[in-house]
């Protein structure tokens, strides 16, 4: 079995060493133009040349959870696109989202501002019942986030393309139930895959449906959010704030208004990072299963986009 590695902006050697250890009978190499055909590829943002040359690939293993950038390219005709199921990302995502929700709910951002001015302040405790949280996207990451939020006794709603049952979470599904889902939430967490149907889904109309004083947490893709619409709703007072980890252009340009808006918290796409050891173990296991003709989890439907 021949395995090739083609990951932009990723140090290759640790991945190559890990894959060689996990697949001792395979030939593992970093792709170079003109390289011989491989059976499987481990990729992140590969160039079109790589895909045009590697026409015999059986599996394209993406080292992140999102595959939207990969699906924009012309893919080898018979290659299965495989995303990571979790590989240590879901617990990171749950940590990040719970931190953002609690920071807003407990008004720790306000305390931080007061402390910066040597001000000793008091804020009346708020009721969790007044802060229902909605999670958009109930895949592996979204489900883990929804379950984690329930541990803090927040009312939690979930919305997904098709119905899904999670204990303690009020389920909503499909386009017909989207508006009702949004209207039930004061805090909105976006964990949707980026597809043509979900691009720009966080816009003036949809965000206006959130309860007054709403809060937005985007940890999926920057293209889900219409930047100017968010700023307009923050400035008119309908939204109280936002925590943003993903952006249309990354790194976020220095002149972008998100950096300096007083109600926006920015982090540099760090909510859930790929953990190399866990990812290699998962990828190697799936490659071997494919070679044995066994079914695997994480297969991407190119039509749906996830």
| 199 assigned to active site | no
Q: Which of 221, 256, 261, 276 is catalytic?
A: 221
| 276 assigned to active site | no
Q: Which of 56, 269, 273, 276 is catalytic?
A: 269
3-class secondary structure for the chain? Answer: CEEEEEECCCCHHHHHHHHHHHCCCCEEEECCCCCCCCCEEEEECCCHHHHHHCCCCCEEEECCCCCHHHHCCCCCCCCEEECCCCCCHHHHHHHHHHHHHHHHHCCHHHHHHHHHCCCCCCCCCCCHHHCCEEEECCCHHHHHHHHHHHCCCCCEEEEECCCCCCCCEEEEECHHHHHHHHHCCCEEEECCCCCCCCCCCECHHHHHCCCCCEEEEECCCHHHECHHHHHHHHHCCCEEEEEECCCCCCCCCCCCHHHCCCCEEECCCCCCCCCHHHHHHHHHHHHHHHHCCCCCCCECCCCCCC
Which residues are known to be catalytic?
221, 269
């Amino acid at each position: 079995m021949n395995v090739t590695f083609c990951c932009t902006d990723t140090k290759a050697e640790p991945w190559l060493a890990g894959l060689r250890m996990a697949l001792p009978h395979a030939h593992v190499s970093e792709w170079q133009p003109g390289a011989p055909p491989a059976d499987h590829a481990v990729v992140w943002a590969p160039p079109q040349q790589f895909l045009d040359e590697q026409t015999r690939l059986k599996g394209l293993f993406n080292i992140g959870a999102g595959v939207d950038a990969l699906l924009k390219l012309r893919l080898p005709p018979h290659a299965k696109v495989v995303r990571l199921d979790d590989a240590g990302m879901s617990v990171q995502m749950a940590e990040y989202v719970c931190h953002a929700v609690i920071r807003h709910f407990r008004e720790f951002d306000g305390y931080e501002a007061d402390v910066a001015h040597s001000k000793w302040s008091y804020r009346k405790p708020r009721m969790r019942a007044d802060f229902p949280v909605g999670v958009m996207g109930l895949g592996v990451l979204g489900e883990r986030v929804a379950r984690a939020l329930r541990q803090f006794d927040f009312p939690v709603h979930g919305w997904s393309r098709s119905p899904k049952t999670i204990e303690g979470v009020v389920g909503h599904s499909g386009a017909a139930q989207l508006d009702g889902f949004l209207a039930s939430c004061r805090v909105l967490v976006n964990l949707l895959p980026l597809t043509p149907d979900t691009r720009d889904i966080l816009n003036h109309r949809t965000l206006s449906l959130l309860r007054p004083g709403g809060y937005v947490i985007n940890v999926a893709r920057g293209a889900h959010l219409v930047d100017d619409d968010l700023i307009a709703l923050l400035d008119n007072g309908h939204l109280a704030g936002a925590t943003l980890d993903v952006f249309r252009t990354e790194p976020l340009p220095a002149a972008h208004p998100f950096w300096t808006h007083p109600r926006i918290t920015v982090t540099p796409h760090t909510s859930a990072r790929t953990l190399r050891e866990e990812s290699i173990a998962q990828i190697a296991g799936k490659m071997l299963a494919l070679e044995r003709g066994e079914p695997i989890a994480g297969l991407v439907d190119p039509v749906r986009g996830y």
